[in-house]
Amino acid sequence: MPFRLTIALALWLMTAAPVTAAVNVFACEPEWAALAERIGGDLVSIYAATTAKQDPHQVQARPSLIARARAADLVICTGAELEVGWMPLVLRQAANPRIRPGGPGYLEAATLVSLVEVPSVLDRSQGDVHADGNPHIQTDPRNLLPVAQELSRRLGQIDAANAAAYRARQAAFAAEFEQAIARWQQTAAPLRYVPVVVAHKNWSYLINWLGLREEATLEPKPGVPPSGGHLSDVLARVRSDPVRMIIHAAYESPRAAQWLAERARVPAVELPFTVGGTEDARDLIGLFDATIARLLRAASNPSG
């Protein structure tokens, strides 16, 4: 079906659908809140448990989160142990049967995509290693498409009267996002094989998608802050094998990245990581527009 006809049909179904009480959605991270807004529109009421300025690993199971979970009809989280330090306690304390794991009201996005960096041996002495693999799937936009499809299906299960509207919104999102992905891949072609240093192992999906080359990590082990000795080792390495930039997320302290950038004479690049991480990442399209623009700007200015 032509793109314009798909959009027109989706808009007609959305306006023709009956409006009922909102489905309460509890989104663990901002990217899933943004996706729920695209798929649910005014049929859903969304609560984001974290912000783009928070480390999603380090969240407290506050009473306010428990209260929101108690009222939720649907929970959407990343999974793959990203929220293991707080979400199980929230679910237990909320005692809400509608969002019990295994039911239609509980959705883990990571179960819908292929995870990278799955450890062959689980050894916690190696840092913050996730047994199921790297959970930061949202840095590759292609991963959002199967999540959107399943989210639409789950919303339709919970709110059957508006199932057609959710399907229509998902179809419109998929059509728009697939075109955007093609545009991003074409625009980002100059980034292929560009060597980079990352602050934390949270960019693997982005790196794989764009064909960047990860040369080093500022953390000696995942989740372990870099020591002066480790940073000196990384500096010696990048002086021997130059990189084009040092990447860190908006929620991370920029100090280590800036220290290395000044001495290696390459840019330190702050990327939004999720919706709201930077002013130019206000929605899912803006997230990747901003990410690629910042990477291209740094790659064209290797002296920083």
Each residue of 40-81: pLDDT tens digit?
Answer: 999 999 999 999 999 988 899 999 999 999 999 999 999 999
What would the pLDDT profile of 139-193 be if each residue is shown by its tens digit?
A: 999 999 999 999 999 999 999 999 999 999 999 999 999 999 999 999 999 999 9
pLDDT of the residue at 131 = 84
What domains, with CATH codes, occur in the chain?
A: 3-184 (3.40.50.1980), 188-299 (3.40.50.1980)
Q: What's the pLDDT at 56?
A: 86
**Helix (H/G/I), strand (E/B), else coil: 51:** coil
**pLDDT (average), residues 232-254:** 97
223 — pLDDT class (breaks 50, 70, 90): confident
Q: Which pLDDT does position 12 carry in this prediction? A: 47
Q: Using CA atoms, how far apart are residues 230 and 183, in angstroms rounded to an integer? A: 38
Report, as an integer, the average pLDDT of 260-278.
97
Question: pLDDT tens digits for 64-123?
Answer: 999 999 999 999 999 999 999 999 999 999 999 999 999 999 999 999 999 999 987 766
Chain center to CA of 64: 23
pTM equals: 0.91
